[in-house]
Homo-oligomer: A and B are copies of this chain.
């Protein structure tokens, strides 16, 4: 517990992975954020700032607590998200982006912008296919 209290995230090296021999920044970046919920979680933390667990769960519509918990743990290991206990009684926790996490802003916003430009929001009126 209290695994986050001592880190200086800005200076830490991130874990990297790459298939094969060639080092590839695209591959490694996508190995960090290429999970189903990671981009959304980061996006919500970018938009709403530090959030509690259920607050985040509410923002990330559709995620289960188990998956959110695992995702946050993974993002924590990758040093993109920090967990802080802000109050013991009542027990309150805050998730926020590390410096590395914040630096993903251009990536996340590029995804958002692309989505806004190229994807059409499905509407109830046009889901009938005729």
User: A44 to chain B: closest CB distance in Å?
Assistant: 9
CB pair A40–B30 under 8 Å, yes or no, is yes
Contact pick for A122, options B23, B43, B104, B122, CB 8 Å: B23
User: A120 to chain B: closest CB distance in Å?
Assistant: 5
CB pair A29–B107 under 8 Å, yes or no, is no
Residues of chain A in range 8-63 having any CB-CB distance to chain B below 8 Å:
13-14, 16, 18-32, 34-36, 38-40, 43, 61-63
A2 on the B face (CB < 8 A) = no
CB pair B112–A110 under 8 Å, yes or no, is no
CB pair B34–A120 under 8 Å, yes or no, is no
Chain B neighbourhood of A24, CB < 8 A:
40, 43, 61, 115
